[in-house]
Amino acid sequence: MKRRTLKPLRPKPPLDHHNVYVVLLDPSVGRLRKVRADNPNRDPKQASVYVGMTGLTPAERLANHKAGVKAAWVVRRYGLRLWPELYAHLNPMPYAAAAKMEVDLAEDLRRAGYTVTGGH
Q: Beta partners for 22? A: 51
> Could you report the per-residue pLDDT of 9-43, keeping only the tens digit for each?
776 666 788 999 999 999 999 999 999 999 999 99
Write down the pTM of the prediction. 0.87
Answer yes or no: are the C-beta atoms of 114 and 49 closer than 8 Å. yes
Residues 85-108 have a mean pLDDT of: 95
CA separation for the pair 51, 30 (Å, rounded): 15
> Could you report the per-residue pLDDT of 62-90, keeping only the tens digit for each?
999 999 999 999 999 999 999 999 999 99
CA separation for the pair 68, 63 (Å, rounded): 9
Task: List the chain domain ranges.
Answer: 19-118
